[in-house]
């Protein structure tokens, strides 16, 4: 299924497939849905700032756990997972991880707020 993607080589422009792969990877039109997802995530985070749902309170554990499961388990990997990851198919898991970190009650957020680790960011 992903032969067309794997057949493309860096800086190759020999075929229509090469042009299409470059378009899918880099053209802004193919990233508009990620922009919309970010706007919607910001709206929901603003509305849930006082009482976040349980999924957001453990969002980074769920999001990073889901991403690790998908990338480390070959049967669960989506088709052409390199391209689908770039094009935002896994954006809900990335958004969940970021939301969990912003809420601050998530175990990963508490770990990163630990003073010795927080001192590394200064």
Task: Give pLDDT tens digits for 79-97.
Answer: 767 767 777 888 899 999 9
pLDDT category, 12, cuts 50, 70, 90?
low
pLDDT value of position 18: 72
pLDDT value of position 20: 77
pLDDT value of position 1: 44
Residue pointed to by tokens 């006082």: 50
Whole-model pTM: value is: 0.73
Which range of residues forms the domain containing residue 24? 3-120
Helix locations, 8-58, DSSP H:
16-26, 32-47, 54-57
Q: 7 versus 101: which is more confidently predicted?
A: 101
Neighbours of 79 (CB within 10 A): 10
Provide the domain count of the chain: 1
Give residue 36's Cα distance to chain centre: 14
Cα separation, 118 vs 90, in Å, equals 28
- Inform me whether the pLDDT recorded for 36 exceeds 90: yes
- Tell which residue, 42, 47, 90, has the closest CA to residue 67: 90
Most confident of 1-5, 64-68, 79-83: 64-68
pLDDT category, 35, cuts 50, 70, 90?
very high
Cα separation, 17 vs 29, in Å, equals 18
- Inform me whether the pLDDT recorded for 7 exceeds 70: no
């Amino acid at each position: 299924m992903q032969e067309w993607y794997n057949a493309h080589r860096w800086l190759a422009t020999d075929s229509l497939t090469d042009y299409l792969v470059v378009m899918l990877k880099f053209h802004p039109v193919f990233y508009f849905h990620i922009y919309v997802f970010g706007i919607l995530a910001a709206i929901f985070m603003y509305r849930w700032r006082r009482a976040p749902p349980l999924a957001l309170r453990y969002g980074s554990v769920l999001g990073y756990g889901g991403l690790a499961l998908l990338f480390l388990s070959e049967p669960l990997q989506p088709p052409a997972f390199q391209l689908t990851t770039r094009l935002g198919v896994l954006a809900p898991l990335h958004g969940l991880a970021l939301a969990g970190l912003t809420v601050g009650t998530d175990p990963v957020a508490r770990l990163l707020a630990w003073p010795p680790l927080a001192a590394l960011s200064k």
